[in-house]
Structure 1
Amino acid sequence: MQEPGSVQQKIACAFSTQVRDEPATKRANQSFRVLATGDLSLKALEADIHHALATEKVDGSCSYVTKYKDLPYLWARLDRKPTKHAEKRFRKFQSSKTSTEFTWNLDDDFRTVTDSWIPAHGVVQINGRLQPDENGHIPGWIPVEKGSKPYCWHLSTVDYDTGLALVLKPCSENNLLEITTVPLMELLEQTLELVGTHINGNPYGLGSKRRPVHFLISHGSLQIEKPLTLNLRDLTAWFEESPEGKVEGIVWHCINGVLIKLHRHHLGLQWPVPDPYLTARPLSINVDLTKYECDLETKSSFLVFARLNGKQFDYFKDIPWEDTEN
């Protein structure tokens, strides 16, 4: 469905865009806004977006499952970013609006990363040297190892001793979602979104300060069932008026592997929204740990959902997080 290890945030917008000199509503430090115009982009047309699979764009932290030390591991998104001095030069160049191309010093302009870091698939290389993208970043991944405090919420969704991951996925009946355990081996070479209490301001209202919860969602797994008309007026109406449209955006998975997106911000619409569609759906919980010998950390989301094992809720948002036992 997608190139393994690719970074979904870099995919093209479905429509042609225009840049306005006004502060962005999505990124606090961005001095411009990108808005969609009325025409499908050339890349979307070339990828045959009219026959693509439309899926929900989930607001989380991009993650990846691949092997590390010969075992399946969860990897966190980590871009190599410019040093402060190089960033200052780059921003000055951007504001000058000159037609010349910015020249990076690839040896000195980027912060160092650990030896375990790997570049994302699709990062351009010239003469074996990784090239930064249009934002001045080199997208990549770092393995989430045991005891890693910066990635404790990633760690709360995996258990390397049992080889399991905590995943939300759709069931085949009645719009039902399920939170369950999935072997990491089954997720190899997939990218996923980490969502939860401490991710991106928690737009889905998951868990609580006392009971934080996090889980993974495979990219492309939440399909949009009703056909969407590919014009801005109808899509804007869908986002504003349809319960199914209370999502961060749409990602179209095209037959040739290209990913095309449309974010609410491209239409001048706000995100997050009250009662997002993800948590307005019924949920079944299937997290049975009795058959495993687990030595889980207290922050593990497995423990929270294991206490709710076998229960079903009419609405995801109605789970009484504070009532789960210690």
Structure 2
Amino acid sequence: MRRLGSVQQKIPCVFLTDVSEEQSRKRDRQTFQVIATENVNPLALEADIHCSFATEKLDGTCCYVAPYTGQPYLWARLDRKPNKRAEKRFKKHQYSYKSCKGFTWNLEEDFKTVPETWIPAHRVKHHNGHPMPDEHGHIPGWIPVETSNKQYCWHSSVVDYEAGAALVLRPCSDDDDMLEIAAVPLADLQEQTLELIGTNINGNPYGLGSKKQPVHCLVPHGIIPIRNPPPVNFQQLCSWFQDSPEGQVEGIVWHCNNGTLIKIHRHHLGLRWPDGDTRLADRPVVIRVDGTVDAYDNSRGLFASLFTLNGHSFSRLQDVQFGP
């Protein structure tokens, strides 16, 4: 399968954006809305976006696979954010200058503490040994998902470190429309970023599992292609999201030949998400969690439950369930 760029930094929008003083459709506590103009972002044109590969933007939480304690490990996204005093100064600057530019951070004192195991994301700039924040005042980074940390229990449910495996949702190699949930060696996912989706993530737009039987899985970034994507044109993209069955997605990520990633999501265009059924939830899926009978004895319930369904197909991803 095609291996595409990993997501370590925030991805720019395909259009230049404006800030509207209205309640965000994406974040409950955000009192402003970032909206797309009809002008294509020069970054997208420089990266030759018209010759790029379009994939589905997934609505979950970003993860990363990298070594920890001598073995491949799942890492959760944890951005280091300003403390209250610094955040107040930053917002005052934004309000006064209508921009983030020109603000000076005290890298030693302005940011909240993070666990010792935290690492900054790739390509984060440093100054005098300190990682520097992005334009939003955040320092993107990662923390290893340890099974003892209850805050990351849903992340933990999709990995079995003893078996060295992760539960991954991906297209089947022998069927264009069929998906599979497979137990994949963590070693095969090294240095990849993935999206954790499921019952307890971001309001569960894909309708996976239930409170009683939660279902979560990892989706490698760039692995769900968009067939016949629309041209990079404001009106045509709006029409595609609203009228095409393929457009029932949160957004598009374009993977450009020079490695640049460019995105659009429905909120940029003033469109609801989710809006009815989602394309991913409606696709058929087969369970491929095989191995020996005791392979996942020490894992949590999700591996064991999916093991009992090995080889079973469901007509829709959102219909995956265990037992009667």
TM-score by length of 2: 0.94
Separation in 2, partners of 1:37, 1:5: 24
Q: For residues 34-58 of structure 1, what are the alpha-carbon distances to aligned partners after superposition, in whole Å with 9 as ceiling and x for unaligned?
A: 2112221100000110111100000
Asked whether the 8 Å contact 1:253–1:259 carries over to 2, the reply is: yes
Separation in 2, partners of 1:66, 1:160: 13
**Paired amino acid for 1:206:** L
Within 5 Å, give how 1:74-223 maps onto structure 2.
74-97=74-97, 101-172=102-173, 173-223=175-225
CA separation of 1:2/1:107 partners in 2, compared to 1, >3 Å: closer, same or farther?
A: farther
CA separation of 1:207/1:97 partners in 2, compared to 1, >3 Å: closer, same or farther?
A: same
Provide the residue aligned with 1:324 in structure 2. Answer: 323
Separation in 1, partners of 2:299, 2:310: 18
Q: CA deviation at 1:3?
A: 5.2
Provide the residue aligned with 1:286 in structure 2. Answer: 288
Q: CA deviation at 1:127?
A: 3.3
Asked whether the 8 Å contact 2:198–2:215 carries over to 1, the reply is: yes
Provide the residue aligned with 1:237 in structure 2. Answer: 239
Q: CA deviation at 1:128?
A: 2.8
Separation in 1, partners of 2:113, 2:4: 29
**Paired amino acid for 1:243:** P
Asked whether the 8 Å contact 2:296–2:303 carries over to 1, the reply is: no
Provide the residue aligned with 1:36 in structure 2. Answer: 36
CA separation of 1:169/1:119 partners in 2, compared to 1, >3 Å: closer, same or farther?
A: same
Separation in 2, partners of 1:293, 1:170: 24
Separation in 2, partners of 1:75, 1:155: 10
Task: Provide the secondary structure at the position in 2 that maps to 1:101.
Answer: coil
Q: CA deviation at 1:222?
A: 0.3
CA separation of 1:4/1:233 partners in 2, compared to 1, >3 Å: closer, same or farther?
A: closer
CA separation of 1:36/1:313 partners in 2, compared to 1, >3 Å: closer, same or farther?
A: same
Provide the residue aligned with 2:253 in structure 1. Answer: 251
Q: CA deviation at 1:317?
A: 2.2
Separation in 1, partners of 2:144, 2:323: 31
Q: CA deviation at 1:302?
A: 1.2
Higher alpha-carbon deviation: 220-229 or 256-265: 220-229
Q: For residues 4-39 of structure 1, what are the alpha-carbon distances to aligned partners after superposition, in whole Å with 9 as ceiling and x for unaligned?
A: 5613xx111011222212121111222221211222
Q: Sequence identity of aligned pairs in percent?
A: 56
Q: CA deviation at 1:98?
A: 5.9
Asked whether the 8 Å contact 1:48–1:254 carries over to 2, the reply is: yes
Asked whether the 8 Å contact 2:297–2:304 carries over to 1, the reply is: no
Separation in 2, partners of 1:317, 1:68: 33
Separation in 2, partners of 1:251, 1:273: 19
Q: CA deviation at 1:290?
A: 2.8
**Paired amino acid for 2:169:** L
**Paired amino acid for 1:73:** Y
Provide the residue aligned with 1:53 in structure 2. Answer: 53
**Paired amino acid for 1:301:** L
The gaps in structure 2 that reach 5 residues or longer are none
